[in-house]
């Protein structure tokens, strides 16, 4: 863990202190919980948005197989990565 310092409004501090007291926990513990909930609530939609872009791709088997790079990487040109060379058998 890392130590941090923050400045709260008087009302925020008193409310936080009351919540911590009711739960029988430290103010730091309650703040860590609040921060974790905030982060998971704001980051979860951003992570999910990438998956939502490809939602339903399998419903059209023709385009999913042919245009998979467009679905995964966006744009009309497909993958931003260069094509790989075929391996030699040998």
Q: How many whole angstroms separate alpha carbon 73 and alpha carbon 79?
A: 6
> Any alpha helices (H) in 2-90, and if so which ranges?
10-23, 27-53, 61-66, 68-73
Given this model, what pLDDT does residue 71 score?
Answer: 63
**Residue with structure tokens 């704001």?**
42
Q: Could you list the pLDDT tens digit for every one of the 90 residues in the chain?
A: 899 999 999 999 999 999 999 999 999 999 999 998 888 876 666 666 666 666 665 666 665 566 666 666 666 554 445 455 556 665
**Domain residues of the chain, as ranges?**
31-76
Neighbours of 69 (CB within 10 A): 14
Residues 6+ apart with CB under 8 A from 79: 69, 72, 73
Q: What is the pLDDT of residue 40?
A: 81
User: Structure pTM?
Assistant: 0.47
């Amino acid at each position: 863990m890392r130590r941090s310092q923050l400045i709260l409004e008087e009302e925020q501090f008193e409310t936080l202190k009351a919540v911590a007291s009711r739960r029988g926990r430290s103010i730091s513990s309650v703040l860590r919980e609040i921060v974790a909930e905030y982060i998971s609530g704001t980051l979860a939609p951003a992570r999910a948005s990438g998956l939502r872009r490809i939602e339903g791709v399998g419903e059209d088997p023709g385009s999913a197989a042919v245009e998979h790079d467009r679905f995964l990487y966006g744009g009309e040109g497909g993958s931003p990565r260069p094509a790989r060379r075929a391996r030699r058998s040998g």
